[in-house]
Structure 1
Amino acid sequence: MLEPARLVAALPELAQGAATTLALTACSALLSWVVGGVVVCALLSGSTASRWTARVYVSFMRGTPALVQLFLVFFALPLLGVHLPPFLAASLTLGLNSGAYVAEIMRGALLSIPAGQREAADAIGMRSVALWRRVLLPQAVRIALPSLINEMTLLLKTTPLASVVAVTELTFAGQIVIARTFEPTEVLLAVAVGYLVASQALVQTARAIERRTAIG
């Protein structure tokens, strides 16, 4: 059994790994929202080429493992002269992967909005930008919020993949401590608690936002 003093001594190392995990999740989530927004616009556009390109992207990202995508970004891009630091490569891969799911979530939310609202906006002469900003996006985000938070939670739990390119996130930090102490149970419990706290923070934040944006 790992002595309490040794576990306490390992906490700064685990905390640093947790900070890296949170930073990786935040960077990947920000990229996924941007990519998802662009892709959903392409999916719903009137351009056949844009829709086809977006569908190929979504199919590839959802149909191949994130680990394979990470290997392609980290090991294949250097063959083309593009060398990315491990953290940036992991953030880019996870963000692009999650962006495909965000796009599908937002597409479903936008399609669930009654067409009569668009027709009413056209009838009063509302411009396209105002229609998206004041009518469509607020409702779509409210509808999609639970699914988006679920996707962010899955993204958080996908971050251990970054360890394969030597990013010392929480799980990898735990493995380093285990290799030094030969006591996996207590360390893995500490790691699990770290992920649980982070995921619950996401869930509680989503519930607070849902309460603030609730209709009626």
Structure 2
Amino acid sequence: MGLDFTVLPAFFSLLLVGAGWTIAITVAAAILSFFGGIFLAVIALYGPAVLRYPFRLFAWLFMGTPLLLQLFLIYFGLIQIGIDLPAFVAGVIGLGLHFAVYNSDIIQAGILAVDRGQYEGARTLGLSRVQTIARIVVPQAVRSVIPPIGNNMIALLKDSALVSVIGVTELTLTAQLAISRTFRPFEFYLAAAACYYLINLVLEAGLRHIERRIQMAR
């Protein structure tokens, strides 16, 4: 009985592999959620009705249901209609689409906050509607909403632990594998928590650097 942290070094390489997969799935899902959020925001504000209404249904489904259920549907459900996705891909898609919907709401607010004169000035210069949205409106909107999107990226990192339930060998699952061999849950869950915290510190530092660069560019 009692704590015994001497068991950790023997499983350090296993935890390191898990941390690597956690970073990989976080980065991939963050990229999908960022660009997916931009795409969904543009569709919601500027798309034709035939696209806007399906988007509203899509957003309702992803905002109104648990992320864990969405992961189960993507990984275990799609196989019934012939779509067999690897666990990593299913995890990236599930996390990415889930946070893309939330990023879309934030980006929509940023787009609506852009001065109408920017849009009119771009059209006066001869830019088309699509060029104005892509080159003038969206870049300004994205720059203004980097902080809340950054908060979503941090939440995504934490929620990446949920992909362990579909078999992705990320940090939480590797900790569980070590626990199954040593029966030392406290030590390994604490080690996993420390790893998540270190990754989160690096992510926060990166986001602060991006925010400073954007402020300097204004």
TM-score, structure 2 length as denominator? 0.92
Is contact 2:43–2:51 with CA below 8 Å preserved after alignment?
A: yes
- Number of the residue aligned with 1:186: 187
Structure 1 unaligned segments of length 5 or more: list them.
Answer: none
Kindly provide the amino acid, as one letter, of the partner of residue 157 in structure 1. Answer: K
- Number of the residue aligned with 1:202: 203
Q: Deviations 1:76-104 (Å, cap 9, x if unpaired)?
A: 11111111111111111111111111111
Deviation (angstroms), 1:123 = 2.6
State how 1:73-92 maps to structure 2 within 5 Å. 73-92=74-93
- Number of the residue aligned with 1:40: 41
Kindly provide the amino acid, as one letter, of the partner of residue 135 in structure 1. Answer: I
- Number of the residue aligned with 1:214: 215
Kindly provide the amino acid, as one letter, of the partner of residue 211 in structure 1. Answer: R
Is contact 2:5–2:187 with CA below 8 Å preserved after alignment?
A: no
Kindly provide the amino acid, as one letter, of the partner of residue 150 in structure 2. Answer: I
Closer, same or farther: CA 16–120 of 1 in aligned 2, 3 Å: same
- Number of the residue aligned with 1:112: 113
State how 1:49-64 maps to structure 2 within 5 Å. 49-64=50-65
Deviation (angstroms), 1:131 = 2.5
Kindly provide the amino acid, as one letter, of the partner of residue 40 in structure 2. Answer: V
- Which whole-Å CA distance do the structure 1 matches of 2:173 and 2:116 have between them? 49
TM-score, structure 1 length as denominator? 0.92
Deviation (angstroms), 1:184 = 2.1
User: What's the % identity of the aligned pairs?
Assistant: 37
- Number of the residue aligned with 1:163: 164
Deviation (angstroms), 1:133 = 4.5
Instruction: Determine whether 1:69 maps to 2:70.
Output: yes
- Which whole-Å CA distance do the structure 1 matches of 2:84 and 2:208 have between them? 40
Is contact 1:2–1:181 with CA below 8 Å preserved after alignment?
A: no
Kindly provide the amino acid, as one letter, of the partner of residue 161 in structure 1. Answer: L
- Number of the residue aligned with 1:2: 4
- Which whole-Å CA distance do the structure 2 matches of 1:69 and 1:133 have between them? 31
- Which whole-Å CA distance do the structure 1 matches of 2:64 and 2:26 have between them? 21
Closer, same or farther: CA 99–67 of 1 in aligned 2, 3 Å: same
Closer, same or farther: CA 81–134 of 1 in aligned 2, 3 Å: closer
Give the superposed CA RMSD. Answer: 1.6
- Which whole-Å CA distance do the structure 2 matches of 1:161 and 1:125 have between them? 48
Instruction: Determine whether 1:149 maps to 2:138.
Output: no
Aligned residues: 215
- Which whole-Å CA distance do the structure 2 matches of 1:149 and 1:3 have between them? 34
Q: Deviations 1:57-82 (Å, cap 9, x if unpaired)?
A: 11110111111111111111111111
Kindly provide the amino acid, as one letter, of the partner of residue 44 in structure 1. Answer: L
- Which whole-Å CA distance do the structure 2 matches of 1:212 and 1:37 have between them? 20
Closer, same or farther: CA 3–45 of 1 in aligned 2, 3 Å: closer
Deviation (angstroms), 1:3 = 4.0
Deviation (angstroms), 1:134 = 4.0
Is contact 2:91–2:163 with CA below 8 Å preserved after alignment?
A: yes
Deviation (angstroms), 1:181 = 1.8
Structure 2 unaligned segments of length 5 or more: list them.
Answer: none
